[in-house]
Structure 1
């Protein structure tokens, strides 16, 4: 098959497809793709391997499959954690999660097996060295051991490559179908053009005017993506959580843009306790943006920047209490979106954006004056002003805007902000919302479809 896509580009695409499948898809749907992977220990974001990502997500079936394919449990990521330490950390955080415990048992067994193999190789190397060079140094033994392990890994990867080669041979049998597929595409295109001409003749141009996208489908995809990122640790009530996300999406554009942005981030997670109104059981200790260490029982919701995880206590997310829980969720999700979109430690502007920084400084100064005059401020804004560091004050103040919207609704929320705190609303609407929407990622289905269309077009032109 003629193609202008480089081998490295194709391999990169396979790696991205597998990573996407690991995050959101089924193992059965991606086993054939795994067979074509050259290196099962390929690194991804933050130097994590597929095994480390699977451990962090609690995907037992994926972890088992990757370990069976020779995934290394000792490789460390940017935070110097390997698969075993990550699995142990997940169990410490979520001791009642059965999947986390299964993942830990799998990784522990394979890690112990590897250690036994290394020990035997080391003993064998030492015995052979005793016969040849009695004065051999420990450094030589270690070098020999590493060489043996590397040799084993190369053999495993060679087997994977041979399997991939066999798959390529099978695929080559289907290459002769390309011509038929091209003809089919041309026939379909021609038919579509004929139908278009008929429609124009019968109904006029107005019959052809359709919206560029389906808003209801976009809403469903965003909410569904957020539900896949959500793990209910205690209690049950997926319908209640879906209502919260739908409320944020439908309430106002300033809360909708947060859902639209975060739904496209593969690493975001939301941990929920439906049996408590605080997060203490999920996260015993937290460190606020002020640097203060506090108990999780003191927080209704919390944003962990390091792990890109939001924790929510949602004991009662129905009836009159729904808007209260929704506002707590909006507060934490807003903080995380600021950190991810601007990359400036959670501030609502990019590093070096002096003009936008001045806008927020003016907003804080105006609110400080109102506070000194004894004016009554919203509790979320008052909480932001109590913080001792600039980072905490500016992040919490920004998060207060969508939080108030989520509680009061769009009309009342905006009226309340205009009356009590008009200055934060302006930079949020002008800078934060626009940046979130502009950087919101399309869904994985759309990405795959766009890549297919581009690749198909390239292949067709190269064949011609």
Structure 2
């Protein structure tokens, strides 16, 4: 390792200058500039390490071990909380997840650790956000690459089948021409086989076109879903986030997106709302750790340890407790869907959470009719289906309207699209029809 001569400052400077001059000619200008900028934190860097370091040009750039901690330049930048260095190294292609230091941390997990150690320092939080964004982009690129490779494989298979059929037809025609003695015997084949071959080729061409169309549709849908889920993840803060917690929250959004158009439309609407946000605690059965006190839509004040979900209309934010060992996934999904729906409807109509505009008398009449049906049928609905009874038990008219408007998404999120819709058609058909005809089109 290059050592400092503590007794002679000029010798120290000569050693530092020699360290960077030794590699200056073999590196891009921007990379050498970054090394010079970071030199105050790389006292133990060896000239041999930099000589072996390749110029950043691939996904592995900036990933060789260059310090006594066994980390990379990106580890050094993360540990110092220097966002400018982190952005430069990520721009050069450094990976947030590929290499580990001597303690076993990747740059991403090291950033999570630094946030835990410095919870009040926003610089470390900004560094973590930059690394997560690149990690998500890399994951999306890999998934897209695998999907395209599968598409190309299907297309190649169809092409090979077409070539085989064409070769078989050509071989038969060549045999008929070359064997005059068999011409009469095979006359019938001569007239019928090419027609069959042409029909077969036409059929394969049609199948190929349909396959390509289906692949294109699937590609567009998958891209739209991935883009929506990634945007929702960027709006979500996870308490004491780990890779496992991040994966679980992403799974939660994916299940909501794929459940039904009633739930996917909520994500599509909220992803473009810049002020909207979500805070999730995956280790608790209540929101006391992320929302100690709140006032519900009826104006009642509660402490966070009394509930697992809250839709804050003033902050435009959802607070969710999602401890899987305490709640079933279906319960977490239905509560989350309800809170998302209540905020989306509040922001859509600007009418204190009611599912209609002040001047829209037609929607008001239709919703009042649906409410009257729900109130009349609430005692006939089995007790195991409590969403309607919970809604009509709210203490104020505003609370009842806002809570009842979210019942359709609770049904599909808990029981699935098919069963949830069948139950609503049996329990509250007018409420389902109101949501589909009045709320859903506006969300789109």
TM-score (norm 2): 0.51
Contact 2:405 2:435 (8 Å CA) reproduced: yes
Q: Which has the higher contact order (CA 8 A, sep 6+)?
A: 1
In 2 relative to 1, CA 61–326 (structure 1 residues): closer, same or farther, beyond 3 Å?
farther
The answer on 1:101 being equivalent to 2:108 is: no
Cα deviation for residue 376 of structure 1 reads: 4.3
Partner of 2:231 in structure 1? 225
Partner of 2:268 in structure 1? 260
Q: What's the CA shift string for 1:173-198, capped at 9, x where partnerless? A: xxxxxxxxxxxxxxxxxxxxxxxxxx
Cα deviation for residue 414 of structure 1 reads: 0.1
TM-score (norm 1): 0.49
Contact 2:287 2:319 (8 Å CA) reproduced: yes
In 2 relative to 1, CA 212–219 (structure 1 residues): closer, same or farther, beyond 3 Å?
closer
Partner of 2:310 in structure 1? 302
Between the aligned partners of 2:318 and 2:353, the Cα distance in structure 1 is: 14
Q: What's the CA shift string for 1:354-373, capped at 9, x where partnerless? A: 11111111111122222366
In 2 relative to 1, CA 280–211 (structure 1 residues): closer, same or farther, beyond 3 Å?
same
Partner of 2:334 in structure 1? 327
Cα deviation for residue 374 of structure 1 reads: 8.0
Partner of 1:392 in structure 2? 399
Partner of 2:367 in structure 1? 360
Correspondence list, 1:121-136, <5 A: none
Partner of 1:369 in structure 2? 376
Partner of 1:284 in structure 2? 292
Q: What's the CA shift string for 1:371-417, capped at 9, x where partnerless? A: 36686473121111011212111111111210111010000000011
Unaligned regions of 5+ residues in structure 2, if any?
1-80, 84-114, 125-204
SS in 2 for 1:101: coil
Contact 1:234 1:272 (8 Å CA) reproduced: no
Partner of 1:316 in structure 2? 324
Unaligned regions of 5+ residues in structure 1, if any?
1-59, 63-95, 106-202, 438-464
In 2 relative to 1, CA 311–97 (structure 1 residues): closer, same or farther, beyond 3 Å?
farther
Match of 2:356 among 327, 340, 349: 349
Cα deviation for residue 349 of structure 1 reads: 1.3
Between the aligned partners of 1:267 and 1:281, the Cα distance in structure 2 is: 22
Correspondence list, 1:75-90, <5 A: none
Contact 2:377 2:427 (8 Å CA) reproduced: no
In 2 relative to 1, CA 216–372 (structure 1 residues): closer, same or farther, beyond 3 Å?
closer
Partner of 1:4 in structure 2? none
SS in 1 for 2:237: strand
Match of 1:251 among 252, 259, 265: 259
SS in 2 for 1:312: strand
Cα deviation for residue 102 of structure 1 reads: 2.2
Q: What's the CA shift string for 1:244-291, capped at 9, x where partnerless? A: 111111110001100111111122111011111211111111111101
The answer on 1:382 being equivalent to 2:401 is: no
Q: What's the CA shift string for 1:204-248, capped at 9, x where partnerless? A: 996997659811000000011111111111464111111111111
Partner of 1:131 in structure 2? none
Q: What's the CA shift string for 1:8-64, capped at 9, x where partnerless? A: xxxxxxxxxxxxxxxxxxxxxxxxxxxxxxxxxxxxxxxxxxxxxxxxxxxx989xx
- Report how many residues are paired: 249
Between the aligned partners of 2:339 and 2:348, the Cα distance in structure 1 is: 15
Structure whose alpha-carbon radius of gyration is higher: 2
Partner of 2:411 in structure 1? 404
In 2 relative to 1, CA 61–289 (structure 1 residues): closer, same or farther, beyond 3 Å?
farther
SS in 2 for 1:303: strand
Q: What's the CA shift string for 1:111-156, capped at 9, x where partnerless? A: xxxxxxxxxxxxxxxxxxxxxxxxxxxxxxxxxxxxxxxxxxxxxx
Partner of 1:238 in structure 2? 246
SS in 2 for 1:231: strand
Correspondence list, 1:114-263, <5 A: 211=217, 214-234=220-240, 236=242, 237-263=245-271
In 2 relative to 1, CA 373–217 (structure 1 residues): closer, same or farther, beyond 3 Å?
closer
In 2 relative to 1, CA 416–373 (structure 1 residues): closer, same or farther, beyond 3 Å?
closer
Between the aligned partners of 2:331 and 2:118, the Cα distance in structure 1 is: 31
In 2 relative to 1, CA 358–295 (structure 1 residues): closer, same or farther, beyond 3 Å?
same
CA RMSD of aligned residues (A): 3.1
Q: What's the CA shift string for 1:158-185, capped at 9, x where partnerless? A: xxxxxxxxxxxxxxxxxxxxxxxxxxxx
